[in-house]
Amino acid sequence: MTRLLASVATLDELAVAARGGADILDLKDPKAGALGAWPLDGIAHAVAAARLWPVRPPLSATVGDLPMDPAAVTERVADTWACGVDYVKIGLSPDGDPAGCVAALAPQARRGARIVAVLFADQWDDANRLLPGVARAGFAGAMLDTAGKGAGGLLRHKTPDELARFVEQARRLGLLTGLAGSLRLEDIPALLPLAPDYLGFRTALCAGADRGGALDPTALAAIRDAIAFDIDPSPVSGEGACEAGSRAGWKPALTRQADLRSAESG
């Protein structure tokens, strides 16, 4: 079942996306880069606000467009996870030491941090080769996105067959799978048959398709209806929604990870 991830830039947009039926609320500042980060205090405020809702989806947060320096990456991921989000998204670019960053994050993953690797389709010729290391490090998921938002969307950089191989390999490794990158409403029919766990949107959710503009409830409704996701049978409510929400909403991926790790340890 493919679900909708909506990237939001403000607390007001967070509420709009939740009311509009988004399955994951992704805290991201589109004016600060492909994975522009909210300030840490803003992330904490968003988590606190969402915990007051009777029902809410999981929250994810990006850590910014960081250099591939293991020390810088591990510090920012730890600080972001400490804010109480359900998932932390870290972009992996070819420059620097992406493999070292992945390995350095393994201790945090073992302690329970749910980390999602974001691989840029317009930077990596073969992002799939990173997936085994991401899985070994205990990451929760992997997604394909685009770094250059003015250079065309995901389907300009990868064919449906290439995307299918990415999703299939990530799923075999027990990873949550996502596809994003300037996706449009008309891209959805080509992507749904690939069955990623989620499709991520920002530009197509905004008025005038301006990713730096405000979230448009009408555009959000159109994307939501096109994905035609099923409502989770175990909605999250009350205190502790942050952890419970991710477990209810993404149980299949987490179960795959546990099974694979049991097999490896055996």
Catalytic residue set: 28, 89
Size of the chain, expressed as the number of residues it contains:
266
As a whole number of angstroms, the distance between CA 48 and CA 25 comes to: 14
As a whole number of angstroms, the distance between CA 106 and CA 112 comes to: 10
Tokens of 119: 């691989």
As a whole number of angstroms, the distance between CA 180 and CA 160 comes to: 13
Q: Going by C-beta distance under 8 Å and a sequence separation of 6 or more, which residues neighbour residue 198?
A: 2, 3, 4, 5, 23, 24, 143, 176, 177, 178, 179
As a whole number of angstroms, the distance between CA 241 and CA 54 comes to: 9
Q: Going by C-beta distance under 8 Å and a sequence separation of 6 or more, which residues neighbour residue 45?
A: 11
As a whole number of angstroms, the distance between CA 167 and CA 94 comes to: 20
Q: Going by C-beta distance under 8 Å and a sequence separation of 6 or more, which residues neighbour residue 10?
A: none
Tokens of 61: 């947060």
